[in-house]
Chains A and B, each alone.
Chain A
Amino acid sequence: MIEGIHWNLSSPLAFALSILPILGLGLIVTIEATLLGFLIALVLGLVLALLRRSRSRFIAWPVGAVIEFLRDTPLLVQLYFLYFVLPKYGILLPAFLTGALALGVQYSAYLSEVYRAGLDAVRRGQIEAAIALNMTRARIYRDIVIPQAIPRIVPALGNYLVSMLKDTPILSVVTVMEMLGLAKIIGDRTFRYLIPLTIVGAIFLVLTMAATAGIRRLERSLPKTGIRMR
């Protein structure tokens, strides 16, 4: 029994059906962690990308170092660090938030590179025209550069979304009961691993295919020239 739900070992099919509700609870956690983690990565990644483009070396250089550090150290190290080290300094977060934060922070470093490539691809003449119209730097980014960069970066963002989804099982090491963690517990208690793990694999396959299809649709619906402004 887990979370008040009993399993039925009478037949493989009955077992599979009886553990589905348990794995369903894990699925919700998996999706929530991915969405929250990706939201953090989207926002923090943009902030990092913009800071790295700062004209001041005293901002751009340290931010570049932080991005490199986040990209070049394992997710598990960063997760353990947030989970075990931060509480020593009085920062106590629920395990789920710690996990989503770890995902979000590491992926923000990846996404900052995606943003950077997208921002660099906007033609120099666009920025010059905006300067000639006396727009402020903030306005140039908000209304000229970022709307034109978005269609170029959506495919890469989609890849990282799928990748993050597949990284969520790592949260089980800090007691977050997502899908794979629950499947492992079911296996430990029933000595039957094949069915729970197969189901989890199948659910991940469906999730990633759905996410990929969603991203393709979004890509096609975006005008190549940028987010439309009338």
Chain B
Amino acid sequence: MNDFSAVPATEPIRPIIRFDNVTKKFGDLTVLDHFDFSVTPGEKVSLIGPSGSGKSTVLRILMTLEPVQEGNIEIDGLNYHEQGGHGPFRASQKHLHEIRSRVGMVFQSFNLFPHMSVLRNVIEAPVAVLGLPRKEAVERALDLLDMVGLAGKRDSFPAQLSGGQQQRVAIARALAMRPRVLLFDEPTSALDPELVGEVLGVIGALAHEHDLTMLLVTHEMRFARDVSDRVCFFDKGRIVEQGPPSEIFSQPQEQRTQEFLRSFVD
């Protein structure tokens, strides 16, 4: 008999994101069906699956862009719903700001602010929301733009950039708010094929940041295999199968996963 047997060798790591029995409907259409999901801090998770399977909705819910009908969501120990909260999100504006301060998002269509220079796009929220002095915000912004290889474009406007460049600015803009969790919603789907690589390069480099938790909705299977700790295959509002990329891509167990992955084989 081992005296230590009653004590776990390591404390289980508390998840940074938790979905507990979440149901999300658009009218009659159920997008997430009693959905459970959790992510540990620093984990890089790819969500794959056919369109309409609910993967983007998971990100949009986390970003508080969509309310849910049922269930609980937590980020960093913070419940999305407040006790006695009103409105579709059952939370006050203050509470929503508290949640949003932990999450950042990169959109399929970039959504850069077209009337702002590249630099202004990146410093706008740090100055307006975090209250950073402009000088400090500019320094940080230039470091981030340098990281995505666009320091020379600081004074350009989004319309003067290629899609790949716009998406890299959008990544810098999201990082400038220092989120704990960064969500990528099909970040390369709107790009010309020759521009996909530069964006994936930036995201891949970010994946080496140990503190940053990343959720990536993507159709780039090779990339998902390279950067993720875990791959989740979605179908009809549920995770059908999940595991390390080596397992999911090499020996998928479920028939739906096998069919889906086969459609990606060249």
Contacts and interface: CB of A to CB of B under 8 A. Distances in A.
B101 to A, nearest CB: 6
Given A139-B128, A229-B120, A230-B155, A132 B115 contact: no
Contacts of A228: 115-117, 157
A134 B111 contact: no
A123 B109 CA distance: 11
Interface in B153-187: 155, 157-159, 170, 173-174, 177
Q: Interface extent on A, as a size class?
A: 20 to 34
A134 B119 CA distance: 18
Contacts of A55: 87
B100 interface: yes
B217 interface: no
B159 A128 contact: no
B105 to A, nearest CB: 4
A44 B192 CA distance: 45
B125 to A, nearest CB: 4
Interface in A128-168: 128-137, 139, 143-144, 147-148
Contacts of A223: 115
A134 B87 contact: no
B113 A132 contact: no
B114 to A, nearest CB: 4
Interface core residue of B104, B107, B125, B177 (most chain A CB under 10 Å): B125
Given A55-B87, A225-B157, A225-B159, A133 B115 contact: no
Contacts of A225: 114-115, 157-159
B199 interface: no
B66 to A, nearest CB: 10
B114 A226 contact: yes
B65 interface: yes
Interface in B168-223: 170, 173-174, 177
Given A223-B115, A230-B117, A135 B125 contact: yes
B109 A125 contact: yes
Contacts of A133: 104, 124-125, 129, 173-174, 177
A144 B173 CA distance: 15
A8 interface: no
B97 interface: yes
B93 interface: yes
Interface of A: 55, 123, 125-126, 128-137, 139, 143-144, 147-148, 223, 225-230
7 contacts: A128-B107, A133-B104, A133-B173, A134-B177, A136-B93, A225-B157, A225-B159
Interface of B: 63-65, 87, 93, 97, 100-101, 103-105, 107, 109, 111-117, 119-120, 124-125, 128-129, 155, 157-159, 170, 173-174, 177
